[in-house]
Structure 1
Amino acid sequence: MAKPNFQFQKRQKELERKKKMEEKQQRKLAKKDRLPGSIESTSPGGETE
């Protein structure tokens, strides 16, 4: 019976975790970019005198 390669499994798990974190960061940045634009366009007092 072959021995399991724990280093390979650990590396794969680390890569998967890093990928998930990067995707989460991208979603967070996209959400952050989207929110301020919508808040500014609907802010009260937008009338000019």
Structure 2
Amino acid sequence: MAKPNYAFEKRQKEIAKKQKKQEKQLQKAARTEQPEPESVAADGVRAAPQPESQT
């Protein structure tokens, strides 16, 4: 009977962990790059806040 290769399992686990961490980092970077959709106009100029009307 063959003995288990613990070094291989450990390396695979480390690779999966590193990949998951990198994916999280990319998602975080994508979130910070995206501006608020309602506060930025299509031309990239930040729109002034609209005053609330008191009726």
Runs (5+) with no aligned partner, structure 1:
none
- TM normalised by structure 1 equals 0.73
User: How many aligned positions are there?
Assistant: 43
Whether 1:38 aligns to 2:43 is no
Q: Structure 1 CA distance, aligned partners of 2:20 and 2:48?
A: 35
Shift of 1:20: 0.3
User: Which amino acid is 2:31 matched to?
Assistant: K
Runs (5+) with no aligned partner, structure 2:
41-46, 51-55
For the aligned residue pairs, the C-alpha RMSD in angstroms reads 1.9
- TM normalised by structure 2 equals 0.66
Q: Which has the higher relative contact order, 1 or 2, with Cα contacts under 8 A spaced 6 or more apart?
A: 2
More helix by share: 1
User: Which amino acid is 1:44 matched to?
Assistant: P
Select the structure of larger CA radius of gyration.
2
Q: Structure 2 CA distance, aligned partners of 1:17 and 1:8?
A: 14
